[in-house]
Structure 1
Amino acid sequence: MTLTKGQRHRAILDLVNHGAVHTQQEIAEALARRGLRTTQATISRDIQELGLVRSGAGYRSAAALVRELVLSVEVVAPMAVIRTPPGTANLVARRIDEAALPGVAGTVAGDDTIIAVLRRPGPARRSRSCWRMSGDKLVLAYSGGLDTSVAIRWLKDKGWDVIAFTVDLGEKKDLDAIQARALKTGASAAYVADGRAPFLQLFVWPSLQAGAVYEKEYPLATALGRPLIAAMMVEVARREGASAIAHGCTGKGNDQVRFDVATAALAPELKVVAPVREWGMNRDDEIEYANKHGIEVPATVLSPYSTDENLWGRSIEAGVLEDPWAEPPSDVYAWTRDPRECRDEAAYIEVGFKLGLPVSLDGEAVDPLQLVTALNRIGGENGVGRIDHLENRLIGIKSREIYEAPAAVLLLQAHQALEDITLPKEVARFKDTVAQQWAQMVYDGLWFSPLRDALYAFVAETQRHVTGDVRLKLFKGSSRVVGRKSPAQLYQHSLATYGKGDAFDQSAAAGFIKLWGMGVRTAAQVQGRLQDRELKGLLGDVKRLAP
């Protein structure tokens, strides 16, 4: 398999971060075992470009090696005294000088001690965790909003080299402007990634097959996006040799758990930094901080609501919505039309499924992105997909959330209808339990867990015959299933009909009922408790008529 340079670099960093490789030959052999062929000369250039260094434990990234070798840092302005194991101070000092940190004028190294001359003095402190002055890289989940824009400057002031990462999950944002804003605010680099296809295929579709809806209301839009963002951030962190990731989540929401736990599962060596949990600023304080430091304040901060959106749905909270008695005002909604303003004629759509996954719309094959985009538009035009949910957050508080999820509502409804006609009764009933567990798992941030693997093994088995078509009727805010069919359907007309063609042997019913009721009959005959119940008053005054 021929690799691009970026793919080769990621593979080498993965080897370095997860195993001991001591020579270039070992790296080449390890890559070959993965089916990746390259020359030793190419590997030599890659090692130099990646800034890898060889230690007794094998090749390491410079940042990782420095973190291991720094035992303590004591800042005594305008200098910092850095302690290392014997014989390693020169190596660490060289890496500090190569990093060209803006806060460090230069270093002098002995055997196990480095004196770093600081350009900006700071208060004396002693802590190994203070080694952020080394310019360690940190990948920040950057939305372009107030919290994460302020976070860039705040993290830089703490000594981090901030790399901004933004992923497109269908938010319809100006990604070029967000990327430029990140660099203008102080990020040393800014990544933008298109995550729409993997979001639908790897996260939304398995959850659709599972029938996952949290507390019978929430289709889990935001909850499904977070593990993907975390996974992409981990990949960027490894590519950049970063030692931490950061997010803009508060200390009272669910997303902090999702980011932190996903990172712990995928890259336990990475530190997770949550500025909003630490800095003690409220919204007004953040605006003041931004103005003081010349940070562009997005216009969205003027909105009374906090929103998040991706292809699977849009969530809205805060403002008047914090009163659970208050009806959501019309300006809350952006995707769905007021049902009173929808057209007077019903709209019909047909969704085709194969193995539990939607593959067509109105008889035409479509890819996941085309399908979800079209259903969000069609559903929204007909007022479908509005959800007002009083939900139980993971951390123990109740929260009022408004959701708009036209495509999610329609596809979950259609998928359930197709399962109703194809799954055996016992499988369908147990799958309801699995669906609830899946929804709880996603909501609680446990996507990357053995539980998900185990649950999906069951879900995938149930979808082998979930192939067919479902017809839905959309009218003024409602959607109803009005037709379903499958080549593997368990509904058989000859068994269900009461008319011509009835093939059901009704004479078999008597024997079945006798066996079915055997336990109740035996209990009544032996113990008599059921017969002893007071039943005399049930009839009341009745009228008897005889010929």
Structure 2
Amino acid sequence: TKTPSPALSPATAAQVRVVHYTMKTDSRHRELTPPIPDAMSSKGSVVLAYSGGLDTSCILVWPKEKGYDVTTYLANIGQKEDFKEARKKALKLGAKKVFIEDVSREFVEEFIWPAIQSSALYEDCYLLGTSLTRPCIAGKKVEVVQREGAKYVSHSATGKGNDQVRFELICYSTPWRMPEFYNWFKGRSDLMEYAKQHGIPILVTPKNLWSMDKYLMHISYEAGILENPKNQVPPGLYTKIQDPAKAPNTPDILKIQFKKGVPVKVTNVKDGTTHQTSSELFVYLNEVAGKHGVGCIAIARGIYQTPGGTILYHAHLDIKVFTTDREVHKTKQGLGLKLADPECEIVCPCIAKSQEPAEGKVQVLVLKDQVYILGWESPLSLYSEELVSMNVQGDYELIDDTGFININSLRLKEYHRLQSKVTAR
């Protein structure tokens, strides 16, 4: 959702090639011995976006066997992870260097907050999670590439998903795709066998073939039985949130303060706890929402948990309804659909402009997988109690309604007149 800084210069971009693989659904099992290096494998240094999971662990080992020096880059975006162990594992598997970059603050302020401002929902139900992290990860990776003078960049996104596009548009020149790799590894079963033969420790098992993404904002599980939409959420996948059936019966009440559509303060009404810094605020909302089982959806292909983001989505919806003009709101809704597209550089300033009056406090109750709006207040509210009240007329001419109704009824009268002609035939 932003141009990486510093961006690749044309000269640098010409030297960068993207190495990745495309998975196929055919999972034929066979002995996976390392392919023999060939003439097209010009040796050089590769910077790999590394997570330590099944895909990136295999991809770390494979280029190394082909004769490349592999530098791994791991982004800390607020996920709970043992980064020391991740570094140790990468070095053990043959990484020449390991970079761990903390981008959690940038992720919250430059990616999550614009997503909240825009009320961005994919397919009307999914709060953007993975798609927001990719440009944040890739932008910092470009800086590592430049510092190290690497010739190639690599990622583990499959050829079936959107991630390959997100990663490669950040540092795109001429994609170098390797059929030798994706023809060898037909699916996750082949990757597991390769990991077994090469002593690569992984958490994935034949019964739990999950592909998982976990970051400050969300966690997602895909693949395995989740690819069949009729299957329910396996109990063990409630990780970022509590199973709603086991959530407490006592609610939490929060007061969330917004300025220009961005949360700047969260207060727990019961105990007075206050959080104001961006990362601290979001971590606390994750904690409260997670405790109450808020923010889990199941859509085709996967399970997605976005606890704190779900609270903010509902609270922001309420404050903007009363502070933003209706037509401006409609325009922003259309722009919000483009937030994760390359055109976001143009879209984001427009969304930010629409959010200038979105200021005030929203009180929410969080309980049993639900977020309830209790009340709100805003110094910039467009709401007029006198105008809407049924107890007083206020500064409003009731006779004006007649003209409004007559004009709007014209299309209905004309429609029924034509319908009567059709029926009479």
TM-score bracket for the superposition, by shorter chain length:
0.7 to 0.9
2:153 to 217, 242, 245: 245
1:518 to 400, 407, 411: 407
In 1, Cα distance between equivalents of 2:411 and 2:293: 55
One-letter amino acid of the counterpart of residue 401, structure 1: G
In 1, Cα distance between equivalents of 2:316 and 2:352: 14
In 1, Cα distance between equivalents of 2:202 and 2:252: 38
Q: How does 1:357-436 map to 2 (within 5 A)?
A: 357-362=262-267, 364-390=274-300, 400-436=301-337
Deviation track 1:475-506 (CA, whole Å, cap 9, x = no partner) reads 2111111211111000112212223xx35245
| Contact 1:163 1:189 (C-alpha < 8 Å) held by counterparts | yes
- Distance change in 2, residues 1:349/1:228 (3 Å): same
Q: How does 1:464-503 map to 2 (within 5 A)?
A: 464-499=356-391, 502=392
Matching residue of 2:338: 437
| Contact 2:275 2:284 (C-alpha < 8 Å) held by counterparts | no
In 2, Cα distance between equivalents of 1:130 and 1:320: 37
In 2, Cα distance between equivalents of 1:162 and 1:325: 41
Deviation track 1:99-118 (CA, whole Å, cap 9, x = no partner) reads xxxxxxxxxxxxxxxxxxxx
Matching residue of 2:29: none
Matching residue of 2:63: 155
1:131 to 42, 45, 54: 42
| Contact 2:37 2:66 (C-alpha < 8 Å) held by counterparts | no
In 2, Cα distance between equivalents of 1:275 and 1:512: 72
In 2, Cα distance between equivalents of 1:275 and 1:249: 16
Deviation at 1:418, TM superposition (A): 0.5
- Distance change in 2, residues 1:517/1:182 (3 Å): same
In 2, Cα distance between equivalents of 1:505 and 1:253: 56
Deviation at 1:130, TM superposition (A): 3.6
Q: How does 1:253-292 map to 2 (within 5 A)?
A: 253-264=161-172, 268=173, 277=182, 279-292=184-197
In 2, Cα distance between equivalents of 1:482 and 1:274: 56
Deviation at 1:429, TM superposition (A): 1.9
| Contact 1:307 1:315 (C-alpha < 8 Å) held by counterparts | yes
One-letter amino acid of the counterpart of residue 514, structure 1: G
Matching residue of 1:353: 258
Q: How many residues align?
A: 393
Q: How does 1:43-442 map to 2 (within 5 A)?
A: 125=39, 129-132=40-43, 136-264=44-172, 268=173, 277=182, 279-293=184-198, 295-301=199-205, 303-362=208-267, 364-390=274-300, 400-438=301-339, 442=340
- Distance change in 2, residues 1:510/1:170 (3 Å): same
Flag the structure with more relative contact order, 1 or 2, with Cα contacts below 8 A and sequence separation at least 6: 2
In 1, Cα distance between equivalents of 2:233 and 2:191: 27
In 2, Cα distance between equivalents of 1:432 and 1:412: 13
Matching residue of 1:4: none
User: Aligned with 2:337: secondary structure?
Assistant: helix
Deviation at 1:454, TM superposition (A): 1.7
- Distance change in 2, residues 1:271/1:191 (3 Å): farther
Greater C-alpha Rg: 1
Deviation at 1:301, TM superposition (A): 4.4
Matching residue of 2:26: none
Matched, 1:459 2:357: no
Deviation at 1:306, TM superposition (A): 2.1
Matched, 1:504 2:394: yes
In 2, Cα distance between equivalents of 1:137 and 1:271: 14
Deviation at 1:241, TM superposition (A): 0.5
- Distance change in 2, residues 1:401/1:285 (3 Å): closer
Deviation track 1:15-66 (CA, whole Å, cap 9, x = no partner) reads 9x557xxxxxxxxxxxxxxxxxxxxxxxxxxxxxxxxxxxxxxxx99x969x
Structure 1: which 5+ residue stretches go unaligned?
1-9, 20-59, 68-121, 391-399, 535-547
- Distance change in 2, residues 1:308/1:130 (3 Å): closer
User: Aligned with 1:315: secondary structure?
Assistant: strand
- Distance change in 2, residues 1:519/1:382 (3 Å): closer
User: Aligned with 1:413: secondary structure?
Assistant: helix
One-letter amino acid of the counterpart of residue 375, structure 2: G
In 1, Cα distance between equivalents of 2:358 and 2:75: 32
User: Aligned with 2:127: secondary structure?
Assistant: coil
User: Aligned with 1:517: secondary structure?
Assistant: helix
Deviation at 1:299, TM superposition (A): 2.9
In 1, Cα distance between equivalents of 2:379 and 2:179: 51
| Contact 1:245 1:271 (C-alpha < 8 Å) held by counterparts | no
Deviation at 1:298, TM superposition (A): 2.2
Deviation track 1:349-394 (CA, whole Å, cap 9, x = no partner) reads 111111111010117351111111111110111111111123xxxx
Deviation at 1:220, TM superposition (A): 1.2
In 2, Cα distance between equivalents of 1:273 and 1:342: 48
| Contact 1:151 1:248 (C-alpha < 8 Å) held by counterparts | yes
Deviation at 1:285, TM superposition (A): 2.9
| Contact 1:250 1:276 (C-alpha < 8 Å) held by counterparts | no
| Contact 1:421 1:485 (C-alpha < 8 Å) held by counterparts | no
User: Aligned with 1:412: secondary structure?
Assistant: helix
In 2, Cα distance between equivalents of 1:323 and 1:171: 28
Tell me which protein shows more helix as a share of its residues: 1
User: Aligned with 2:302: secondary structure?
Assistant: strand
In 1, Cα distance between equivalents of 2:115 and 2:379: 24
In 2, Cα distance between equivalents of 1:306 and 1:523: 53
Deviates more, 1:147-156 or 1:416-425: 147-156
RMSD: 3.0
One-letter amino acid of the counterpart of residue 289, structure 1: Y
- Distance change in 2, residues 1:330/1:529 (3 Å): closer
